[in-house]
Structures are given as structure tokens and as C-alpha cells.
Structure 1
Amino acid sequence: MTTNVHLSPPDIGPLEESYLLAALRSGWVAPVGPDLSAFETEIAARVGTRGAVAVSSGTAALHLSLLGVGVMPGDVVVVPTLTFVATANAVRYTGARPVFVDCDGRTGNIDVPLLSELLRRLRAQGERVGAVVPVDMFGSCADYTALLPVCQDAGVPVVEDAAEALGAAHGGRAAGAFGHVGVLSFNGNKIMTTSGGGMVVSDDLSLLARARHLATQAREPAVHYEHRETGYNYRLSNLLAALGRAQLVRLEEMMGRRRLLRERYAKLFAPVSGVELVGAEDTESNCWLTVIRVRERSCGWRAADLAAHLAARDIETRPVWKPMHRQPAYADADNLLTGAADGLFAEGLALPSGSALTEPQVGGVLGAIDEFLTACSAPASR
């Protein structure tokens, strides 16, 4: 079945076409080039860090960032259990072990008091904690006001996974600028895209230089190909960087459209008992995904019921991330849980949120939801 309305499709138009065509005509088709350097400079300026390194994916950026803060085989790295698998996979790439911590059920972001408890426990067990990797869920930053002092007191570096949160902020500071290093993603469904791609952002220029070196197969500065260590083929191409530059020009516009759509969802669900928007109080979110939480006891229906109703009308929705401690690949990992992530997985639903959605598409989605809510509230026939 073809889905007519997708969750978060790429928002590409004439500006992106012009940037990409100019890059093609310039002859800079090989991986490096002027658009790549400019994209790094522009992203660093947008985030507010001293520099950036553009790479092939957010996962690659996570891997390089963990290496950059000194994560080693045998370390443990604290990761939220509510996240995309790439966050945990990148830890394993380094030879370290992820240890999962639960989320705040209101926002989906890392539970900071629980993190503090976990760090104390790991220290008592004699574990070396290589890093903490908070994830900015659904486009909202974690509570860095509380989190950063906890990690500083424990002497543990923070690698901010801001893959979902470019353009968001916390206390006026941009997502990606917290901790020692930040990670962005430009995957096809993100707030802005380079088709596939990511970025390492940091004030630590030596870390960035190291990331750039490793991302280009760790090639030494010689006239021939010289390699003293194992590197990776992680560099972003100049053509994709050109696409990203155009997207960055339109970032505020695209966030604004997502924010307006979230407001329309909020208005539609406001009268419905038992339904809440996850993280709705965050005014600094980039509104990447609008996620609702449905409490069946209060409203009489489940998130899965609405999802099935919308799927029958070719409208895509998605449950929130299945927690990492429930994933077969990580079933044996250590964790500290409250049940909050399990609750969001059972009761959460991401709704179509893309800035590329047309008004007829948005109207169709809202109309289909209203139809569902009306049917659910109608008295049963006798």
C-alpha cells in the first residue's frame, strides 16, 4: 500500500536544486570541496561552537565523538534506553559497553536524578565510565541545567546526541553546544537533510582535527598514501554539503511550519481526556516530531487504534522508539529503569510532522483524527 502522507518527509525545493546544480557545475564532485568547508563553518556558527566536521551519518559522528573523548574498550558508556539504536551501536564500535538509563515520562529525555544514581552505582562497582550520551528526543533538548553538573561532579564527559534537535535550544543555548562534543544528523527524515549525513560539533579544535583525520581513512600528510592507524571512510561529500547549505538557509522556515502543525494538533486533542503531547511545554523545541501519549483508561482507546485508523487512510504514524533494553541485540546490557520508557513505547504515537506537508495533506490528517475522535466519543448504539 502506498502511503500518501509520510511522517517526516524531506522538504526540498528550488533553493536546494540551485545549490546542488551549482556544486555540480563547479566540478567539485569529489568528497572535499568549498561547499563542504562552508557547510561546516555555517553549522558551527548556527550551533555556536568553534568548529565542526561533516561526516557521512549521525552514527559516524557518534563514533568519532566517543573516540574523541577517549572512550576505550572495557569502558562503560551511559545511554538512554529510549533512543534510536545508533546511539548504542556507536558505543559498541569503540569496544565499550552501553549501560542504559530510563527517561522522564513527560518528555522522553534522560531522567537526570536516575542518571546521578546510576553514575554512583557504576563508580562503586569500579567501572570506568567513558562518557554519558544524552539524547535530545523528538526535537527537545535534555535538561542540561541539571545534567551537566551531575556529569561534571562525576568527572565524566558528555557527548550530546542532538541528532533530532538541530535548531532547538535549552535556556537559549543551541542543541549540540552542550557537553564536550555534540552530534547532529541530516538523515532523510530529520528537520533538515543532506540525504544522508551528520556533523561533529565542538569547541575542542584538537578533537575536531582528530575526527577529520580518522574520517578520511587516517591518511597521513604525505605525497603517497601513508597510514599509521586504522581510519574510516566517514567524510561527507561536497555535493551533499551543498544540499545541506540550502537546507540550513531554510531551517527557521521549516521549524516554523512544524511548530504551527504541532499547535494544530494540540488544539485538536485539548478536549480529549487522557491524551497529552509529549514535551508540549518546551517552547525551545524544533518540533521535529509531534508525539502524543494515549492513556486508555482515561480516553477509552489506544494509540494503536488511532494508528490503524490513519493507516487505513494512507497516513503514516510510528510508535516511539522501542527501548534499548527491550531490543534482542542489547538484552544482556546493564540498566537502571523505572518503567517510563516502556510506558511511552506502549502509549506513544508519532504523528505526521513534516514541514513539506501541504495544506490539503494536513487538513486530511486532522480530519481523519477528528473523525476517529468523534466515533470514539459517540454513545454506543443499543
Structure 2
Amino acid sequence: MRSQDYDRIFLSPPHLGRHELNYLHKAIEDNWVAPAGPNLDGFERDICEFTGAPHCVALTSGTAAIHLGLRLLGVGPGDEVLCPSFTFVATANPILYLGATPVFVDSEADTWNICPERLREAIEDRMRQGRKPKALILVHLYGMPAKLSEIVALAAEYTIPVLEDAAEALGSRFDGRPLGTFTQVGVFSFNGNKILTTSGGGALVTNDKQWAQRTRFWATQAKDEAPYYQHSDMGYNYRLSNLLAGIGRGQMELLEDRVKKRREIYLWYKNNLQDIPGLILSQTEPTGSRSNRWLTTVLLDPAQTSTTPEELRLHLETHNVESRPLWKPLHLQPLYATAPMYGGPVCEQLFAQGLCLPSGSSLSEADLHRIASAIREAVQPLPS
């Protein structure tokens, strides 16, 4: 059959419920279509209630949240910011917005997040050069909790403030505590492919009331308290709209169910694909961790299979199934070709061998069987 004979299976499409429309209708009926409004306030309260964070500011994107979070940490021109290389480019771009330089660090092989050993190496080497890093961005990749205990302790040892990028990790936990709340600043993304969506959006959470107030001030063009438009500081148009926040309120009511479904999808793949030679379901949950399993990822071991990730991706396309390569490490991107990098082989190997499988919480049993059947057709063992 041709690919167009199948309905498209997307990688991670939005999954709406029935309550989002109620919040949207109410906003329209009450004429609350400006950026401010009851849905925006309510959405921020919902995030605080779920995460336990005292303060939340809802913004236009996770990237905006990282940008303002780094500014809260004092990052500016000439500074250096530690950052994992194995992440989406939006993690690092705000470093450039502020005139600073990223210092990339390799992953460890268990969770694929920033490696504590390479991180120590990077910190000590930068300090020997008289360039103490101004901040560290800690990412929870594909929803998998990083090795928080080691990384946070290491940052504290060298008094380096940490921004926790939990853009992919809403609903994930470490030692029973929601991610995004372990450091001075946490950020989330509500992009259309995330586990919870507001179409586009993000949020910054913090335990510092003044920081939350400053974030809200910057996000609304930094307008001074005056009866006219006066500006003493640089601001941005970063505030989430009341309408999109209404979608977020309805989505928050479904979050735990969506996490449960994505974890079930990961287990389905694991149980039904584990006998395929060379196909490895990856990203190990550390002790005490609970990943939301935003995306299920696999590695193709070249010692066991002749099939490459790109060959598998193209074969899935013939079945109208979307998949995606793992993030290309940032130190391999032309944009960041001159940035310092510590380590490299781990994340480069993951990129070369990995693929993200469809993981949306609306996947049906029939969808999963169709995906698994296509994978079995494609993945071939090495000739004996």
C-alpha cells in the first residue's frame, strides 16, 4: 500500500479534551481576549498547585522563559553559561540573546542528560582560565530526569546558579518532587508537540516573589508605574494571552492522565519490540526518578543490525508514520561551531544511532501495531 492509503500517525500531536472550549468560550463571552485575564491568572495558579512552586509567570514560549530566567541569574555580555550539547537549540539560543557564550558539555549514557563528570571538568577548566561560568542550564531531555543530586551539588560547590530547563518534562518527578522546582529558576514549554499544550507558550517558576514580579515586568514591555508609557528598563512582549491560557487550564486537568498514557506507550514499545536484534529502547530512569516519557526513543546498534536510523525513518514514512532523529548536538551546529565543548563522543553516538518514535497520548492500539509492524519490516540483522 502507498503511504497516502494510511491515516498519518504524527510524532507527538496535540491531544485536547472537552474542557478547553469551556475556558475559551467564557473568555470570549466576557471579552477577555487581551493578554491579561482570569484564565492567565488561573493557569499560573494551576501550575503552582501542580508543581508546588510558589510563583509562576506564563509566557509566550519556553524560549522566552529561558531568556528571562538567565537574565534573572545575571547573565550578560561576555559571560559564559554551561549547557548540555545534546538538546534543542532553543535551550542555548537565549545565551546568545544576552551576549554571552555557551560552554557545551557532553551527556552521560544512562539518562542522556548532562554528564556530572564532564561538567566538573568544564567548570574546573574554565576557572583555571579565569572564566568562572555565570550560570548552568540543566535540561531534562525527552522528559527524563537528569542526575539531579550530583549536578545540583556540583553547582553549589562552585556557587554557580542553575536554570532548570524542564521544557520537555512537565509531569516528571525526582524523589517524588516535580521537575522544574529543584533550582533557582525552572521553565516549561507548552508548544504544540509537548505533553501539555497551549498551542504556543511557556512558563517560568521560582520560589522568589521579587523574581516573579521582575519577570512579569520584563515580559510586559517593562512599563514603569506611571499614567503614561515610561520605560527605564528593556522589556519584551512575552506574556501569554488569556485565550491560550484557557486552553492550558483545560489541559492541566488532563495532565496526569497524559503522563500515564505516555508511560504506557513506552512500556508497550518495550514489551513488543524487545526481541528485534539491534533495536534498543533507551534512556534509563535513575533510582527515584519518574519520567513523563514525552518521547519514546530507540537506538540502532550497528554491531547487531545493518539498518540505520535514517533508513528506518524513511521506511516509516512509507507507512505514513512520522518519526524524528534525536537532537543533533549543538557543538556540531554551524551556529555554535566555535563554542567550547567538553566531551562529545556520547552525544555524537546517540545522534548517529537514535530515533524518536510516535509517542502521542492519543495513539490507539491499532496505531501501535502498525508502527511495530513497519519497524519489524525495516530493521534487519547483520548477515551471519
For normalisation by structure 1, the TM-score amounts to 0.95
Q: Which residue of 2 aligns with 1:39?
A: 43
Return closer, same or farther for 1:284/1:95 CA change in 2, 3 Å cut-off: same
How does 1:274-353 map onto structure 2 within 5 Å? 274-281=278-285, 284-353=290-359
Select which of 359, 372, 375 maps to 1:366. 372
The number of residues matched between the two structures is 378
- Structure 2 CA distance, aligned partners of 1:281 and 1:30? 42
Contact 1:268 1:370 in 2 (8 A): no
- Structure 1 CA distance, aligned partners of 2:22 and 2:38? 16
Q: Does residue 263 of structure 2 align to residue 262 of structure 1?
A: no
Select which of 173, 188, 193 maps to 1:189. 193
Q: Which amino acid aligns with 1:301?
A: T
Q: Which residue of 1 aligns with 2:89?
A: 85
Q: Which residue of 1 aligns with 2:157?
A: 153
Return closer, same or farther for 1:366/1:275 CA change in 2, 3 Å cut-off: closer
Q: Does residue 31 of structure 2 align to residue 27 of structure 1?
A: yes
Select which of 52, 69, 72 maps to 2:73. 69
**Structure 2 unmatched ranges of 5 or more:** none
Deviation at 1:128, TM superposition (A): 3.4
Q: Which amino acid aligns with 1:23?
A: A
Contact 1:255 1:287 in 2 (8 A): yes
Q: Does residue 366 of structure 2 align to residue 357 of structure 1?
A: no
Contact 1:71 1:130 in 2 (8 A): yes
- Structure 1 CA distance, aligned partners of 2:342 and 2:381? 39
Contact 2:220 2:239 in 1 (8 A): yes
Deviations 1:199-257 (A, max 9, x none): 00010111111111000000011121111121100000001111001101000111111
Range 13-22 or range 336-345, more displaced: 13-22
- Structure 1 CA distance, aligned partners of 2:309 and 2:109? 16
Deviation at 1:358, TM superposition (A): 3.0
- Structure 2 CA distance, aligned partners of 1:365 and 1:269? 10
Contact 1:108 1:278 in 2 (8 A): no
- Structure 1 CA distance, aligned partners of 2:214 and 2:176? 29
Deviation at 1:378, TM superposition (A): 11
Return closer, same or farther for 1:272/1:106 CA change in 2, 3 Å cut-off: farther
- Structure 1 CA distance, aligned partners of 2:187 and 2:382? 47
Select which of 115, 129, 132 maps to 2:133. 129
Contact 1:143 1:170 in 2 (8 A): no
- Structure 2 CA distance, aligned partners of 1:337 and 1:377? 31
Q: Which residue of 2 aligns with 1:11?
A: 15
Identity over aligned pairs, percent: 43
Q: Secondary structure at the match of 1:184?
A: strand
Q: Which residue of 2 aligns with 1:120?
A: 124
Q: Secondary structure at the match of 1:74?
A: coil
- Structure 2 CA distance, aligned partners of 1:123 and 1:207? 28
- Structure 1 CA distance, aligned partners of 2:366 and 2:275? 24
Q: Secondary structure at the match of 2:53?
A: coil
Select which of 176, 181, 184 maps to 1:180. 184
Q: Secondary structure at the match of 1:258?
A: helix
Deviation at 1:310, TM superposition (A): 0.6
Deviation at 1:363, TM superposition (A): 2.8
Q: Secondary structure at the match of 2:139?
A: coil
**Structure 1 unmatched ranges of 5 or more:** none
Contact 2:306 2:382 in 1 (8 A): no
Return closer, same or farther for 1:140/1:378 CA change in 2, 3 Å cut-off: closer
Q: Secondary structure at the match of 1:296?
A: coil
Contact 2:304 2:381 in 1 (8 A): no
- Structure 1 CA distance, aligned partners of 2:349 and 2:383? 29
Q: Which amino acid aligns with 1:287?
A: R
- Structure 2 CA distance, aligned partners of 1:67 and 1:368? 47
RMSD: 1.7
For normalisation by structure 2, the TM-score amounts to 0.95
Select which of 228, 234, 241 maps to 2:238. 234
Contact 1:272 1:299 in 2 (8 A): no
Contact 1:56 1:235 in 2 (8 A): yes
Q: Which amino acid aligns with 2:121?
A: E
How does 1:184-223 map onto structure 2 within 5 Å? 184-223=188-227
